[in-house]
Amino acid sequence: MSKNASTRDSRFAQLIGLELKAEFARKEISQGDVADKLGHSRSGYSRWLNAKPSMPLEAFLNTCELIGADPRTIMDAAYERLTKEMGNPQDISPSDPADEANAALASADNGIDIDAWANQIKAKDSVRDSE
């Protein structure tokens, strides 16, 4: 992963936390109360909001549902701020060949039907479990 990609994902996590904090303020809810209601320590929850480390997706979703916020709106606002600060990812040239290869693979239409592939894995798992 390039340094820029690492910086972008860290900044995105920070912006998610900032958007959640703004939502708490708009709804006059304390982050400590949210942490308590979700069963997390206040200090650990505060670290998540500050992206040290990033908030797990489950905690993010539970937070949004608890405070009545649309998670898509929070993420969209954070991503919009990210692109204003750091530009769009397609405008940033990869810094090493591995990043270029990963970008090419991600954008390639390889014809894989993900649903069919997942069903094959489930079928193999069920055969293995029945043995």
Q: How many helices (H) and strands (E) does the chain have?
A: 7, 0
Segment holding 123, helix H or strand E: helix 114-130
Cα–Cα distance measured from residue 17 to residue 59, given in angstroms and rounded to the nearest whole number: 11
Q: State pLDDT tens for residues 84-129.
A: 999 888 776 555 555 655 555 555 545 666 666 666 667 776 676 6
pLDDT tens, residue by residue, 3-57:
566 789 999 999 999 999 999 999 999 999 999 999 999 999 999 999 999 999 9
